[in-house]
Structure 1
Amino acid sequence: MKKFALVLGASGAIGSAICRELAENGWSLYLQYNHHSEVVQSLLEEMMQSYPEQEFMIIQADLTSESAATTIVQSVFSLEAIVIASGQALYKLVEDTTVKEMTELWKVHVQTPIQIIGMLSAKLRQHQVSYITMIGSIWGEAGGAGETLYSTVKGAIHSFVKAYAKEVSFNGIRVNAIAPGLIDTKMNGHLNDEEMRELLAEIPLERAGSPEEVAHLVAFLQSGKADYITGQILRINGGWYI
């Protein structure tokens, strides 16, 4: 019997890595994206060729839109796992941040993903064990100057995971978050070489993590080998924040 997972943010570096890892582990996937359709189309073709017995479906939706949750939910049929890897950064002081930027950040990271989870929870409850994994951030725990709003929404994700894990534990739904530190993605492209060196000097393992390392952790949580883990914020940051 096929097992299906919905991945929000499939076009991003971490989202794409998660899709590849889950497909390799036998999952059929719904791939949500907003921009970069060529990335998702290429990913779709790659996985269809590599795993012809599995099913893969693309869903385009703007998570800032009021209709996004309905659009996504109406495209989902069988479902055993949800992975929230969608997101966008915001490098601004609070005093320079507009209400529009605050609202969009909240919708993309918190409101729409939680709305989708609520609307799809009945499908997850049909399984003895099912999974929700959300990509949080080191800044959701430690806070980041110049990224206060981003830190705020990631912290909200962490709080949601802790509360919702208790709410749905009797339904067999495991709810966890992964809090990456510095990961080698274009989100860090604004850093120059000197800034990157200074940042790496703060990390005990002296390197950035890879999207694939985050994806490995997602796959482990959904492997059946981690079913006693729920309500946790799992740090993957090279020892940067302990």
Structure 2
Amino acid sequence: MEFKAAIEAYMCNSALLCDVVLPDATWMEQSQIKPDWLYDAFIAYYAEIVEPMYDTMPVWKIIVELANRLDLGYYFPWNNIEDAFRNQLNGTPWSFDELKAKGFIITDQAQYFKYKIGEVLIRRMDMAVQESAKQEIQFCKSCCQGKGLDYLPDYKEPDKELMPDNEYPFIYGNFRSLGHEHSSTFNNFHLMKTNGTNVLWINKIDARERSIAQGDKVRLQSPWGSVEMVAKPTWAIMKGVLGS
């Protein structure tokens, strides 16, 4: 790749590899319309709290400025973010002015309240922190049966091209590390001292068979790309599985 650019609020690992980094405003410095990750059928308005500092811009403005320089500005005819929000909600049953006035809108009452038991609305996150898997299944069963829903997840066989083979013998997955939150904590000096990068978890047996020790640099490769990471042999991940 001859030229790489990023829109980032922090100099994360990806930004350090780029030729140009366009400074994005932080989340408190720009307004947003977002669905809530804990609830279904719910959109919320997040208003800008403080103006962007220094030379930063909210991402919508960066995109508009880039479009204007590429003679594509007619695709983004917005003078401010509220114009963009009105365009975003155009054609839906809801208007930006209604959303701004209320702060949030429940877009589907039946979907939103499907986990309601009595007067208690259970969030999806709450279902993931039951004391045991059995309790979680029992909770889902009692909740879903009253709504006419199947409480057991559907299982589908993975595509054959994603199954482990002799050339690519591992299954790889991502999860949330307790050390960092996406890239937003990579500018925290103390966190970077204790955990300077996202490590690759590998089962200790798999690591021993490949002479991989704690802290070794390894290359994780798939048919679609490769990346160099720091190994973390551990019993906390299954044999044949890699994670980061």
Larger Rg: 2
Structure with the bigger percentage of helix: 1
TM-score norm. by structure 1 comes to: 0.22
TM-score norm. by structure 2 comes to: 0.22
